[in-house]
């Protein structure tokens, strides 16, 4: 799934956590590090070798904090990615490591194991065995099997930006009429023959573009702003009113674009001095006051997204769309990243704080987005529906990331 970001935040995404007494946690970690993890390691395939680790990058001393049991021995050398450098640290550096409800992240990790990537494929057997383990057991396994690396930009900056995205849930109809006037299109047959294809404005106004899209509508929406949000998110759920009077819930998944660059309509409003609030509520407020300028605003973004229809079974409905890794996204535990900074399938510790949400948790790098670029950059998948959309539409705050890589 390829999406643009909707940077603006919301109601807090709930951060479930389990509270454990320090003495119990220490004993359990020690026991499971020595026994359970050792047993699992003995019956599994060893992890594949890690990428080359240039030694030119200095390791910063860890902050003064309570050591995590089992986290002993010398630190490895730093690692380099195309757009980031990874600095090894102690587990104690990870904010909230003792408190996260790891079983929620484990569900996302098991999804990653459906399309495993090296060197994590060798760990998937153990990951599955630990799916019903306690958080203490899972934490001990992480410490024994993985090494945390602080992700930094090339100049050593560990600070970055967190935004969020979601899956819109929209009412739609199979045929235009009764207020349903905005089409959701499949890719046209001529999409690959012309690069770039027509712009958004041309698609909506030129007869030749309209002819190429004749009969390609999956469904019709009421609101061009809703359609724009769907295009930005790259996927959505539609409650479709069928001709026979029934209602069908389907997913429309990303199937391609017209190859024009994404331009933020909110940024255009700010640059023109029309608003100081470029959140989606602010954009809607401006449109309510200037309805005759709707097309003018929408056409400032020439990028147009095409979709494919997918059945939405009860099991599918429990997860989001498939991300760029090829696995379904898990609300609150999947992130989109710049793959030149963090490889798909990497477990990542995420720390972000702001006026709207505090997040210290294990997440999985399972997706990407055209606006998700840079060393310390992530888009947080919040789920589907209005509440998830409110969070995705407003979240924009500081970010730190740690990659968890096999030892």
Domain ranges of the chain: 167-311
What number is the average pLDDT over the span 33-52?
A: 38
For residue 289, how many other CB atoms are within 10 A of its CB? 10
Closest CA to 113 of 285, 344, 298: 344
What pLDDT score was predicted for residue 16? 31
pLDDT band for position 17 (cuts 50, 70, 90)? very low
CA pair distance 269, 383, nearest whole angstrom: 28
Asked if residues 158 and 376 have their Cβ atoms less than 8 Å apart, the reply is yes
Q: What is the pLDDT of residues 159-190, one digit of tens each?
A: 999 999 999 999 999 999 999 999 999 999 99
Asked if residues 74 and 147 have their Cβ atoms less than 8 Å apart, the reply is no
Q: Tell me which CATH homologous superfamily contains domain 167-311.
A: Barwin-like endoglucanases (2.40.240.50)
What residues does 311 pair with on adjacent strands? 250
Q: What is the pLDDT of residues 296-306, one digit of tens each?
A: 999 999 999 99
CA pair distance 246, 188, nearest whole angstrom: 28
Closest CA to 343 of 162, 84, 153: 84
Asked if residues 188 and 198 have their Cβ atoms less than 8 Å apart, the reply is no
Closest CA to 308 of 234, 226, 203: 234
For residue 164, how many other CB atoms are within 10 A of its CB? 29
Q: What is the longest distance spanned by two Cα atoms in the chain?
A: 72
Q: Kindly report whether the peptide bond that precedes residue 192 is cis, defined as omega within 30 degrees of 0.
A: no
Lowest mean pLDDT across 28-37, 306-315, 348-357: 28-37
Mean pLDDT of the chain: 86
What pLDDT score was predicted for residue 56? 28
CA pair distance 85, 158, nearest whole angstrom: 10
Looking at residue 27, what DSSP letter applies?
H
Residue bearing tokens 């001529």: 190
Closest CA to 145 of 62, 71, 87: 71
User: Read out DSSP for 258-311?
Assistant: -SPPP--HHHHHHHHTS-S--SHHHHHHHHHH-GGGHHHHHTT----EEEEEEE
Closest CA to 221 of 264, 285, 283, 178: 178
Lowest mean pLDDT across 21-30, 171-180, 210-219: 21-30
Copy the structure tokens of residue 347. 């477990």
Closest CA to 377 of 152, 109, 51: 152
List all residues 6 or more positions away from 61 whose beta carbon is below 8 Å from its beta carbon: none
Global confidence as pTM: 0.79
pLDDT at 393 over 60: yes
What residues does 236 pair with on adjacent strands? 252
* Residue with the larger pLDDT of the pair 161 and 315: 161
List all residues 6 or more positions away from 188 whose beta carbon is below 8 Å from its beta carbon: 197, 212, 213, 216, 306
CA pair distance 57, 76, nearest whole angstrom: 12
Q: What is the pairing mode between strands 247-257 and 235-241?
A: antiparallel
The SS3 call for residue 204 is helix
- Measure CA of the first residue to CA of the last residue in the chain; give whole Å: 30
pLDDT at 29 over 70: no
Lowest mean pLDDT across 4-13, 300-309, 352-361, 397-406: 4-13
Closest CA to 362 of 380, 375, 376: 380
Closest CA to 359 of 101, 39, 173: 101
pLDDT at 336 over 70: yes
The SS3 call for residue 47 is coil
CA pair distance 334, 324, nearest whole angstrom: 11
CA pair distance 336, 368, nearest whole angstrom: 4
């Amino acid at each position: 799934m390829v999406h643009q970001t909707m940077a603006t935040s919301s109601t807090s995404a709930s951060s479930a956590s389990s509270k454990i007494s320090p003495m119990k946690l220490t004993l359990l970690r020690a026991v499971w590090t020595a026994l359970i993890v050792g047993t699992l390691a003995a019956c599994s395939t060893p992890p594949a070798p890690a990428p080359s680790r240039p030694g030119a990058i200095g390791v910063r001393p860890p902050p003064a904090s309570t050591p995590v049991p089992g986290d002993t021995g010398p630190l490895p050398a730093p690692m380099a990615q195309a757009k980031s450098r990874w600095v090894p640290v102690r587990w104690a550096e990870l904010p909230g490591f003792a408190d996260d409800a790891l079983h929620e992240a484990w569900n996302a990790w098991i999804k990653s194991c459906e399309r495993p990537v090296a060197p994590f494929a060798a760990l998937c057997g153990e990951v599955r065995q630990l799916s019903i383990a306690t958080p203490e057991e899972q934490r001990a396994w992480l410490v024994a099997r993985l090494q945390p690396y602080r992700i930094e930009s090339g100049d050593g900056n560990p600070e970055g930006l967190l935004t969020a995205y979601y899956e819109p849930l929209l009412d739609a109809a199979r045929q235009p009429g009764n207020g349903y006037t905005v089409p959701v299109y499949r890719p046209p047959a001529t999409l690959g023959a012309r690069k770039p294809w027509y712009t958004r404005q041309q698609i909506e106004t030129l007869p030749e573009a309209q002819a190429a899209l004749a009969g390609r509508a999956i469904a019709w929406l009421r609101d061009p702003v809703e359609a724009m949000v769907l295009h930005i998110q790259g996927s959505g759920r539609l409650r479709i009113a069928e001709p026979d009077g029934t209602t069908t819930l389907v997913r429309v998944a990303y199937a391609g674009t017209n190859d024009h660059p994404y331009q933020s309509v909110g940024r255009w409003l700010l640059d023109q001095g029309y608003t100081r609030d470029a959140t989606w509520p602010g954009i809607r407020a401006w449109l309510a006051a200037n309805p005759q300028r709707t097309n003018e605003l929408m056409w400032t973004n020439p990028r147009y997204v095409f979709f494919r229809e997918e059945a939405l079974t009860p099991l599918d409905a429990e997860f989001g769309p498939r991300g760029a890794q090829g696995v379904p996204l898990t609300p609150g535990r999947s992130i989109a990243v710049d793959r030149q900074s963090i490889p798909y399938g990497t477990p990542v510790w995420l720390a972000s704080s702001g006026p709207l949400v505090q997040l210290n948790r294990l997440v999985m790098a399972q997706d990407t987005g055209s606006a998700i670029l840079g060393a310390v950059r992530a888009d947080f998948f919040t789920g589907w529906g209005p509440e998830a959309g409110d969070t995705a539409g407003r979240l924009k705050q500081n970010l730190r990331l740690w990659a968890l890589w096999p030892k």
